[in-house]
Amino acid sequence: MYQVYNNSPFVPRNVMNELVEEKLDHLMHLVDMCCCSECRALVKELAMKELPSMHVTCMSEDVHARFAGMAAQTQANIVTAILHSAETVQKHSQHCPVQK
């Protein structure tokens, strides 16, 4: 059994969540869609469902350095998932007109 210490500098993280978060706003603006908190959350949720989890345990400041050299295919998969999710949300938005 693993023992967890509250004062440990190590934290479990889903790195994919952070990588999606980094690209989300830029890509949503790129496709000229509503960027309200509801649409943003829906796009992120759908994108995260399309992508595999990447759970790691590391020091909080190590996350970006550890994954800076991520494979180009993984980066492309993240962009594709976000754009696909943005398109889905745009088509089915109940509160925002499609901005075209």
Instruction: Give the residue extent of every domain in the chain.
Output: 10-92
**Which pair of structure tokens corresponds to residue 94?**
């109940």
> Chain centroid to CA 18: how far?
6
pTM of full prediction above 0.75: yes
Residue-by-residue pLDDT tens, the chain, 100 positions: 445 556 677 778 888 998 899 999 999 999 999 999 999 999 999 999 999 998 888 776 666 555 666 788 888 999 999 999 999 999 987 766 554 4
Q: Is 10 left (phi over 0), alpha (psi -120 to 50) or beta?
A: beta
